Chains A and B, each alone.
Chain A
Amino acid sequence: MNTLINFPISLIVLCSGFILILLGLWGMLTQRHLIRIIIGFSLMDTGIHMVMVSIGYVTGGTAPIINNAVPMSEATNLVVDPVPSALVLTAIVIGLGVTAVMLSFAVRIYKTHKTLMIDKLTESKW
């Protein structure tokens, strides 16, 4: 029980974030289906977000609101760093945007090519 508590949760998030990034990259590189590639991208993106969140986490920290419970002078030790959380919100929005554009490309590619296999999309080369 004790060991589990001592093991910081942020480390777990960080590690699983990296695993997700690698999985996503692996997916983007090996899956030939466009939708799977997009899923790969999404996984990678989520992984990055998890890494970002984990970096701002302070073990046992509270919400970054300065009040009586959290005096200004000790804020840095008591609260979770709010910046990464703010960043991750933006990053999620952007990731969503990119995913949406990728999906719309996939739709149009299917309309023009009648396939979603990336190795069929090699008209321009050299």
Chain B
Amino acid sequence: MVATTDTIDIFLQPLGIYILALGVGFLIPLVYRVNRNSAILVFFTALLIMIVIAGLNLLAIINGASVMDIETAGIKPPFSINLRFGLFEGACVLAVNTVALLGAWHYLPRLKQHAAALLLYLILVMGINGMVMTRDLFNLFIFIEITSIATYALIGMERTAKGLAAGFKYIMATSIASAFYLLGTIFIYYQTGTLNIDDIIANQQLIIGPIGFIATLFILTGLLIELKPYPANGWGLDVYETAPGGIASLISVGVSAGVFFALYKVLPIMDLYLTSIAFIGGFTFLISNFIGLKQENTKRLLGYSSIGQMGLLTLVIALLVQLDASAHIPLIIGGLFINHLFAKAGLFWLAAIVDRKNIKDWSSIAKHPSLLILLCILLTALVGLPPFPGFWAKWELVMLLASEQLFGWITLILIGSLLEAVYLFRWFSYARNVESSESVEKPAEVSVSFLQQIPIFITGLLLFAIAYVMSRFMNVDNQLIYFPLMAGFAIWLIDRLNVRVKSLIMLLAVSIGGYFLTKDLEGINKLFSYLLIGGGILVSFATLYRHDDRKGFYPLLSVLLLSLATLLRAQTSLEFFFAWELMALSSYLLVMLGRNKQNCDPGIRLGNDQKNDQKYNQINAIKPALIYLLFSLASAYFILVGFAVSYSATGNYFLFSLGDSGTSTTLAFSLLAIGFIIKIGGFGLHIWLPEVYAEADDDFTAILSSVVSKAGIFGLIIIAAHLGVRADIGLNPAYVLGWIGILTATFGALMAVFQEDIKRLVAYSSMGQLGYIVTGVALMSHLGWVSAMYMTVNHFLFKGILFLSVAGVILRTNERFMYKMGGLIKNMPVTFTFTMIAIIAMSGVPPLSGYGGKWMFFNALMDKGWYWIAALAFFSSAVAFLYMFRLLQTVFLGQRKLEHRKLREAPVILLIPQGILIAIIFVISAYPKILIDVISTAIDPWISNTLVWKGTAMQAHYGYWDAPLIMAIIAGAWIAPLILLLLFAKTMKVQKVEQFNIVYAAERPRRPEETHFAYNFYAHYDRAIGFVVRPRATAFWNAVIEWTHSFAASLRIFYNGNGQTYALFIIMYFVGLFLVNGGLAL
């Protein structure tokens, strides 16, 4: 009895993995002859037991067992080979074996055709286990070779021409690499007299002189080459491209993991080369992601991403060792490693089952929700967005590098990540795109069985689970940050219900959740919670006007709204950043759901040259969504670095200690401000905004503009409060911010004037109005901030109304071009009235709420002495009148189109939220003191109150503002003429203007619509100042895109496909490392 348990115990030792692989492995061909299915069963049992062994032993170590050193041959090391199973080894082996099992499941249809394939697969997995565990330099070589030979054979199993060619190049390259490694090993032995790695490290003073130098260099080059550094990695890419997904995934994550671990083991004798290793890793990461931009082949794209990620790991391990920060290895390296392992493996399998070579053909899965969701989860994880392990690891990494002042590396890592996000999410865009499928190589629909998706699904689940464990390790105790995700998941479960039912459930859930999340808030956060959560729910109510199914819309909307709530709750920069990225991600996906196809009038949009206009017919929200995501990510990265700068000075994550950043304050403030400005759509960084607002669903645009944009304002106010006021950063960054705000306002207004598309007009207007708020925040004075927050509330009110009424107009007319409308006042009087009130509230004329905002704003500007900004603000307010007038005049007034005679009023569901917003506008307009008192109290802790009230009138340097009085006077001034008009109207002569009788003199109409008065409404202004608003920013960013892509093309000239060129690069790599590290001086 005792003996039996002992045998089991011995068998479950890590050594069991090898016994199992070799013993069972070579049994498989035998069993296979008897019965194929039992062979498969044996195969899977073996893989499963490998996981169990790794798992049980890892568990024992986590529970406090000491690191296991497994000795062989009955002799102590260093005379015998020993294996080590510690925390890192265990985690790595467990992860690799898990992926191997899932990969075998995925690849089984092919594997089971040959007994040898099953055997080779087991041997391959065992080889990787060996690379991780062995502590013997030569034994490591053997495991590398075992793995390599098994890999070669598995690659050769697919007898495709391309696959074989790629396989041969792979063999050439890796055999040269292992030759280097073997030579290095033998020279190390020559100098130290041992092959045991620990012994070598202990005696590394013996590794000296030219022989020692060459020996370590050989070992290093051998291992680095196996990790596929740029540019000596063409052979790796070819294999990723041509090998079947099941094998490519194992090479990409499994074999690389083993080699990476091997590199980690020998790093202690590589002190001399750490800088070189870091640079090789860093540049491989950056350049792979650059070149990935040009790639359209799905699996090669994944190859670039794999190589990039391994480069990142190499960079980070070298930096961690160099900084002596090995305590960070589990979270940073572990997180990045596990993240890549599961996400990349899952993507390779997904690519294999979908089987579309070109990423442009992935539209085949556009109608396949489960595949889309899997793709989205894996891509999100790979890019390092929350809640996945990569997110936590990247956070830790950036914080660590910042505290060591290594900002160059941070920049490189973030640029690389952004580039990776570009090509990965571009792929997702193609997959989402129902319309376009360029090639006819494969049928449009894919047929993928449920079973095929299970391994991929499991990797997704594992990513979630590991991310959660990681967040616990990072002491993220606030479980509420996950609340939006869980709520979204719950809503997703009921996504099949009737749209009315599910939307109401979602609104209810968000109301309750939002209430509990925000009820304890105080001050500015409380104020914003009314706006973001209360306002968000109010505007979301309007989404009920649509009757279609809207799959995915409500789950994502609940994630978005609740992540806004957790954003407001955030106590630490980490919670803030988590919520921020969650918000960015969910709003990106929501924009992507937009399906506007009625905007098909080529040739007249500003900001689009003729060539693009041809394509405009097919445009939907997918391309703008991608741009939106990229700008959001860029914004998030600026915020991340901003927080990191502050962390490097303060040493903690609390938002309230941002102000203690000392000398780093200006830098932290500038970075954070840039991040928020991107999100707000600040001048020069705004190009995403009109596109996104125009192409998102009409009701979601209302949410984006009136609610989501306020998150950026909130962030700006928070950093202004913590960094701007308390630490007193001086005038400069704030003054620059003031200018950015006002330029945004001016150009937003000017751009809005010349739009033909109603949604783009309102979008530019939204951007412009936010500009004033930014300037208001930048003022850093009590009145400035009161005006900013007041305008924020006002912006929410009028933009909510405007976008919703625009949604109503588009719903009824099915048009977005204003010259195709007109005279709608007769059909939609309520919408007209609401729009008019919103416009008055926006314009800043008395008596409505906008006036108060502008009054305080100008007063605050004058107080501060920012006269030029005030002048520009005045100018842009005047410009704003032009587009507002255009909106009213061309849509609602003038002649009605014949086909619009029978249109009805907008649906009540759209009108109700507008009505409520109008009511709030009137209350605030009449009694602004209610709102201003709340704002003033919220600001008081930061900047003490300077407002002076006399009754209902607010006093300032340049006069006073008595809102109720103004309201009364204006009402009187309006009502009197109205009564007169009504009385005498019948006695006046009224002549009706015909539709086409306004043609500009001396202009030759080229198209019928040009004769319409509403077309090119402000042609005269266009001629005068139009040159100012030609889309320079768009042209600039287009040039950036163009340049990046051609640069990427020039970087990949090395990959000419010739195996000998690749071999030459490997040798040159060695020579390069030799020269760079002073080989000639020896």
Binding site for B on A (CB under 8 A): 21, 25, 28-30, 32, 34, 37, 41, 44-45, 48, 51-52, 55, 83-84, 87, 90-91, 94, 97-98, 101-102, 104-106, 108-109, 111-113, 118-119, 121-126
| Contact across chains for A123 and B175 when beta carbons are under 8 A apart | no
Instruction: Across the A-B interface, give the 3 residue pairs with the lowest CB-CB distance, nearest first.
Output: A122-B1057, A125-B1057, A121-B165
Q: Closest residue of chain A to B242, judged by CB?
A: A124
| CB of B164 within 8 Å of the partner chain | yes
| Contact across chains for B167 and A105 when beta carbons are under 8 A apart | yes
Determine the distance from Cα of A98 to Cα of B316 in the docked complex, in whole angstroms: 33
Write the nearest CB–CB distance from B266 to chain A, whole angstroms.
Answer: 17
| Contact across chains for B186 and A98 when beta carbons are under 8 A apart | no
Q: Evaluate whether A87 and B186 lie within 8 angstroms (CB atoms) in the complex, with A28-B1063, A45-B179, A124-B166 already known.
A: yes
Tell me which residues across on chain A come within 8 A of B182, comparing CB atoms: 48, 52, 91
Tell me which residues across on chain A come within 8 A of B138, comparing CB atoms: 87, 90
A55 CB contact (under 8 Å) in B149, B190, B1063: B190
| CB of B771 within 8 Å of the partner chain | no
B 868-898 contacts with A by CB, 8 A: none
Tell me which residues across on chain A come within 8 A of B171, comparing CB atoms: 98, 101-102, 105
Offer 28 A-B interface pairs, CB within 8 angstroms, sorted by A.
Answer: A29-B1064, A29-B1067, A37-B1060, A44-B176, A48-B182, A55-B187, A83-B189, A87-B138, A98-B149, A98-B152, A101-B149, A101-B152, A101-B171, A104-B156, A105-B164, A105-B171, A108-B159, A108-B164, A112-B160, A118-B1059, A121-B165, A122-B1057, A124-B241, A124-B300, A125-B234, A125-B1055, A126-B294, A126-B295
Binding site for A on B (CB under 8 A): 138, 141-142, 145, 148-149, 152-153, 156, 159-162, 164-169, 171-172, 175-176, 179, 182-183, 186-187, 189-190, 195, 234, 237-238, 241-242, 294-295, 300, 1052, 1055-1060, 1063-1064, 1067
Determine the distance from Cα of A57 to Cα of B1060 in the docked complex, in whole angstroms: 35
| Contact across chains for B300 and A94 when beta carbons are under 8 A apart | no
Q: Evaluate whether A122 and B1064 lie within 8 angstroms (CB atoms) in the complex, with A83-B189, A101-B149, A108-B164 already known.
A: no
Write the nearest CB–CB distance from B143 to chain A, whole angstroms.
Answer: 11
Write the nearest CB–CB distance from B335 to chain A, whole angstroms.
Answer: 32
| Contact across chains for B165 and A113 when beta carbons are under 8 A apart | yes
Tell me which residues across on chain B come within 8 A of A102, comparing CB atoms: 168, 171, 175
| Contact across chains for B165 and A109 when beta carbons are under 8 A apart | yes
| Contact across chains for B156 and A105 when beta carbons are under 8 A apart | yes
Q: Closest residue of chain B to A45, judged by CB?
A: B179
Write the nearest CB–CB distance from A123 to chain B, whole angstroms.
Answer: 5
Tell me which residues across on chain A come within 8 A of B295, comparing CB atoms: 126
Write the nearest CB–CB distance from A92 to chain B, whole angstroms.
Answer: 11
| Contact across chains for B300 and A122 when beta carbons are under 8 A apart | no
Tell me which residues across on chain A come within 8 A of B237, comparing CB atoms: 124
Determine the distance from Cα of A91 to Cα of B141 in the docked complex, in whole angstroms: 9
Determine the distance from Cα of A121 to Cα of B238 in the docked complex, in whole angstroms: 11
| Contact across chains for B189 and A44 when beta carbons are under 8 A apart | no
A123 CB contact (under 8 Å) in B152, B156, B162, B189: B162
Determine the distance from Cα of A113 to Cα of B179 in the docked complex, in whole angstroms: 29
Tell me which residues across on chain A come within 8 A of B148, comparing CB atoms: 98
| Contact across chains for B183 and A25 when beta carbons are under 8 A apart | no
| Contact across chains for B176 and A28 when beta carbons are under 8 A apart | yes
Write the nearest CB–CB distance from A110 to chain B, whole angstroms.
Answer: 10
B175 CB contact (under 8 Å) in A52, A98, A121, A125: A98
Determine the distance from Cα of A25 to Cα of B175 in the docked complex, in whole angstroms: 11
Write the nearest CB–CB distance from B167 to chain A, whole angstroms.
Answer: 6
Determine the distance from Cα of A105 to Cα of B156 in the docked complex, in whole angstroms: 7
Tell me if B's interface is mostly helix, strand, loop or mixed: helix
| Contact across chains for B1056 and A125 when beta carbons are under 8 A apart | yes
Tell me which residues across on chain B come within 8 A of A126, comparing CB atoms: 294-295, 1052, 1055
Tell me which residues across on chain A come within 8 A of B1064, comparing CB atoms: 29
Q: Closest residue of chain B to A114, judged by CB?
A: B161
Write the nearest CB–CB distance from B684 to chain A, whole angstroms.
Answer: 34
Determine the distance from Cα of A125 to Cα of B1056 in the docked complex, in whole angstroms: 5
| Contact across chains for B168 and A34 when beta carbons are under 8 A apart | yes
| Contact across chains for B168 and A121 when beta carbons are under 8 A apart | yes
Tell me which residues across on chain B come within 8 A of A37, comparing CB atoms: 172, 1060
Write the nearest CB–CB distance from A9 to chain B, whole angstroms.
Answer: 17
Tell me which residues across on chain B come within 8 A of A52, comparing CB atoms: 182, 186
Q: Evaluate whether A55 and B1067 lie within 8 angstroms (CB atoms) in the complex, with A44-B179, A126-B294 already known.
A: no
Q: Closest residue of chain B to A102, judged by CB?
A: B171
| Most chain A CB within a 10 A radius of its CB, from B148, B152, B166, B187 | B152
Write the nearest CB–CB distance from B196 to chain A, whole angstroms.
Answer: 11
| Contact across chains for B142 and A90 when beta carbons are under 8 A apart | yes
Determine the distance from Cα of A113 to Cα of B162 in the docked complex, in whole angstroms: 9
| Contact across chains for A32 and B168 when beta carbons are under 8 A apart | no
Tell me which residues across on chain A come within 8 A of B242, comparing CB atoms: 124
Q: Closest residue of chain B to A37, judged by CB?
A: B172
Write the nearest CB–CB distance from B95 to chain A, whole angstroms.
Answer: 27
Q: Evaluate whether A84 and B186 lie within 8 angstroms (CB atoms) in the complex, with A98-B175, A126-B1052 already known.
A: yes
Determine the distance from Cα of A126 to Cα of B238 in the docked complex, in whole angstroms: 9
Q: Closest residue of chain A to B291, judged by CB?
A: A126
Determine the distance from Cα of A92 to Cα of B899 in the docked complex, in whole angstroms: 87
Write the nearest CB–CB distance from A31 to chain B, whole angstroms.
Answer: 9
Tell me which residues across on chain A come within 8 A of B1060, comparing CB atoms: 28-30, 32, 37, 118-119
Determine the distance from Cα of A93 to Cα of B156 in the docked complex, in whole angstroms: 20
| Contact across chains for B1057 and A112 when beta carbons are under 8 A apart | no
Q: 8 other contacts beyond A105-B156, A125-B238, with CB at 8 A cut-off?
A: A29-B1067, A91-B141, A94-B145, A98-B145, A105-B171, A112-B159, A112-B161, A122-B1057
Q: Closest residue of chain B to A28, judged by CB?
A: B1063
Write the nearest CB–CB distance from A81 to chain B, whole angstroms.
Answer: 9
Write the nearest CB–CB distance from B666 to chain A, whole angstroms.
Answer: 44
Determine the distance from Cα of A108 to Cα of B152 in the docked complex, in whole angstroms: 13
| Most chain A CB within a 10 A radius of its CB, from B169, B175, B190, B1055 | B175
Q: Closest residue of chain B to A25, judged by CB?
A: B1067
Write the nearest CB–CB distance from B90 to chain A, whole angstroms.
Answer: 27
Tell me which residues across on chain A come within 8 A of B164, comparing CB atoms: 105, 108-109, 112-113
| Contact across chains for A124 and B186 when beta carbons are under 8 A apart | no
Determine the distance from Cα of A103 to Cα of B868 in the docked complex, in whole angstroms: 79
B142 CB contact (under 8 Å) in A34, A55, A94, A113: A94
| Contact across chains for A123 and B161 when beta carbons are under 8 A apart | yes
Determine the distance from Cα of A28 to Cα of B179 in the docked complex, in whole angstroms: 13
Tell me which residues across on chain A come within 8 A of B294, comparing CB atoms: 126
Q: Evaluate whether A101 and B156 lie within 8 angstroms (CB atoms) in the complex, with A37-B172, A112-B161 already known.
A: yes
Determine the distance from Cα of A28 to Cα of B1063 in the docked complex, in whole angstroms: 8
Tell me which residues across on chain B come within 8 A of A84, comparing CB atoms: 186, 189
Write the nearest CB–CB distance from B271 to chain A, whole angstroms.
Answer: 24
Determine the distance from Cα of A124 to Cα of B149 in the docked complex, in whole angstroms: 22
Tell me which residues across on chain A come within 8 A of B234, comparing CB atoms: 125
Tell me which residues across on chain B come within 8 A of A45, comparing CB atoms: 179
A29 CB contact (under 8 Å) in B160, B1052, B1063: B1063
Determine the distance from Cα of A113 to Cα of B165 in the docked complex, in whole angstroms: 9
A121 CB contact (under 8 Å) in B149, B156, B169, B186: B169
Tell me which residues across on chain B come within 8 A of A32, comparing CB atoms: 1060
Determine the distance from Cα of A87 to Cα of B139 in the docked complex, in whole angstroms: 9
Q: Evaluate whether A108 and B179 lie within 8 angstroms (CB atoms) in the complex, with A34-B168, A118-B1058 already known.
A: no
Tell me which residues across on chain A come within 8 A of B1058, comparing CB atoms: 118-119, 121-122
Tell me which residues across on chain A come within 8 A of B161, comparing CB atoms: 109, 112-113, 123
Write the nearest CB–CB distance from A117 to chain B, whole angstroms.
Answer: 10
Q: Closest residue of chain B to A121, judged by CB?
A: B165
Q: Evaluate whether A101 and B145 lie within 8 angstroms (CB atoms) in the complex, with A91-B182, A109-B164 already known.
A: no
Write the nearest CB–CB distance from B785 to chain A, whole angstroms.
Answer: 54
Determine the distance from Cα of A83 to Cα of B190 in the docked complex, in whole angstroms: 11
| Most chain A CB within a 10 A radius of its CB, from B166, B182, B295 | B182
| Contact across chains for A124 and B179 when beta carbons are under 8 A apart | no
Determine the distance from Cα of A45 to Cα of B141 in the docked complex, in whole angstroms: 14
Write the nearest CB–CB distance from B621 to chain A, whole angstroms.
Answer: 31
Tell me which residues across on chain A come within 8 A of B175, comparing CB atoms: 41, 98, 102
A51 CB contact (under 8 Å) in B167, B186, B1059, B1067: B186
